[in-house]
Amino acid sequence: NNPEELRRCEEFGADILRLCVRVGGVLTGEHGVGIEKRDLMGEQFTEIDLDQQMRVKCAFDPDHLLNPGKVFPKLRRCAELGRLVVTQNKLPFPDIPRF
C-alpha cells in the first residue's frame, strides 16, 4: 500500500518491457496489451502502425464497446490533438484520458 513502491514497481516493469523490445521481443504474450502496457505500444510500433491498428479496431468495433481504453496509448503530444481538427473533434476513443 505504499504509493512510492507501486510507482517504482511499475517503472521497473516498463523498463523490462522496453528491454524486451530492444532485444527483439514483444510487449505482449497471450494476454494482450491491457491498461498496464498500452502506453508502451510506441516502444514497439510506429505511429503509422498504431494508426493502422486503430483503423482495424474501428472497422470491427465502430461503437468502441470492446475493451475501451485498454489497447491504444493515451494521446502524448499536442500534434495528436491537432488531428481532432481534421476529424471534426470526433475522438475514436472518447473514454481514454487525454492530457
Report domain extents, the chain: 3-86
pLDDT averaged over every residue in the chain: 79
Q: Are 61 and 98 in contact (CB under 8 A)?
A: no
Residue 27 and residue 40 in contact, taking contact as beta carbons nearer than 8 Å: yes
The pLDDT, as a whole number, for residue 33 is: 82
User: What is the value of pTM for the model shown?
Assistant: 0.63
Give mean pLDDT, residues 10-16: 93
> Does residue 70 surpass a pLDDT of 60?
yes
Q: All 3 cell numbers of residue 30?
A: 497471450
CA distance to 1, 4, 19, 35, 36, per residue, from 51 (Å): 37, 34, 24, 18, 20
For the segment 5-26, the average pLDDT, to the nearest whole number, is: 92
Q: Note the pLDDT tens digit of each residue in 19-30.
A: 999 999 998 887
